[in-house]
Chains A and B, each alone.
Chain A
């Protein structure tokens, strides 16, 4: 017999509470499973020990340096990728010949997993920041470029002809018609790229050993500091959540006029 269902507690307060309960449950499982001997403590230490390791890490300057390194690699890589992709997207998207010319090339280059470029990155930059940047840029670039291309293709012909009929300059048409139309797409691209960039930043540090949280995870693993390793993994997870949250908030603020944000307006 299934237990009878209560009314749906879908109010925001209720949802947040349920979410917190779920998280607490997960922590409890991680605490109890190793203590009860269900999993080997060497591979999964109890939550309390991970928390203690995290607190200890937070007290060391090395941790903060690593966190800063990761954030720098992430943000600089993302910024370069977004800048380049937006520029390339607008140019390619607004020139039909260029669009057809590059379509197959983009479709070929885009699916190449960034990690396949690790040997190349090592060859070019060794274990420096440049290696991480190369991988982050490559992965993030395509996410944004493809969205910008969709955005440029979505320009309303009537809006564009309006701009032309009022003799807008070429720059005026890009600035006031093309860019606002593409902006929601750009945001989607940036949001996707921000997550991918973090994945690649950590991967590069982990595999290549360029400075950052990923490298610290590898070091912790090698020195069998398992709770510390888990503590660092938790930090990367929290970073991911914060990045996504920031991207969504920014999107809502800047796109207040857009259908997806403003909702239906009744007149």
Chain B
């Protein structure tokens, strides 16, 4: 279980203070897929960096399975938006996926197996010896997902992972995330600025206000388990839910203007 309690983050530079996150509290249960959505500049990335232990919060805390986060926690993997910079260009796809496993101390035979399985799972069979920069953007993000999956995390954080790929690739990758989530039973916190994406993917959507950020609202997504780019997105319930999220985001922006 992932618990975020009273999280606050203030950036200080000289005498200037910027309050990025004011007071955030929410939980993600084990095996749940929760989407965080908020207007741009609302501190989504700051929040994710606090959760992943890459950044110390000013106040409040993050707990993973009851353990307070004070550095990157065990059993957590992060997929970054900037796949091109997150993958190491000096290593082949295979080595990129394998390196975190080596660092984790996984044995050679098991590593080989995990690398193969995860590359198969993201549909990249046979590209192991290519270099990331020889692949398209969508394929590079698949490599980053494979790397995270091979790590066998209990919690997977995804920071706007599809913001930089084209619409069709994006739809494919969304389905890939749903599929991996169901198969692996992993807890996923998916950060996005795309309202449709959050409703399509999540079991629950947590909406954030504009900066300084609080939780605007939480919404359970009661769409059928099986989701499909054509039928789900045309479902009247999907339209209702996305309208609801959209209104909340707009309300958050209006509040900020006043």
A interface, CB within 8 angstroms of B: 156, 158-159, 161-162, 164-169, 172, 176-177, 180, 183, 257-259, 262, 265, 267
Contact = CB atoms under 8 A, between A and B. Distances in A.
Interface in B87-146: 88-91, 99-100, 103-104, 131, 133-136
A262 B90 CA distance: 11
B244 interface: no
Contacts of B245: none
A161 B131 contact: no
Interface string B14-39: 00000000000000000000000000
A169 B105 CA distance: 11
Contacts of A180: 88, 90
Given A176-B99, A257-B90, A159 B85 contact: yes
- For chain A, what secondary structure do more than half of its interface residues adopt (helix, strand, loop), or is it mixed? helix
Nearest to A157: B85
A167 B104 contact: yes
A167 B80 CA distance: 15
B76 interface: yes
Interface string B57-94: 00000000000000010101110101001101111000
30 contacts: A159-B85, A159-B86, A159-B88, A161-B54, A161-B78, A161-B80, A164-B72, A165-B54, A165-B76, A165-B77, A166-B72, A166-B100, A166-B103, A166-B104, A167-B72, A167-B103, A167-B104, A168-B103, A176-B99, A180-B88, A180-B90, A257-B89, A257-B133, A258-B89, A258-B90, A259-B89, A262-B133, A265-B134, A267-B134, A267-B136
Nearest to A165: B78
Given A159-B88, A176-B99, 4 more contacts: A164-B54, A166-B77, A166-B100, A265-B133
Contacts of B82: 158
Contacts of B77: 165-166
B210 interface: no
Nearest to B82: A158
A167 to B, nearest CB: 5
B80 to A, nearest CB: 6
Given A161-B80, A257-B131, A262-B133, A167 B74 contact: yes
B154 interface: no
B62 to A, nearest CB: 14
A2 B127 CA distance: 57
A264 B151 CA distance: 31
B52 A165 contact: yes
Given A158-B82, A165-B76, A267-B134, A177 B88 contact: yes
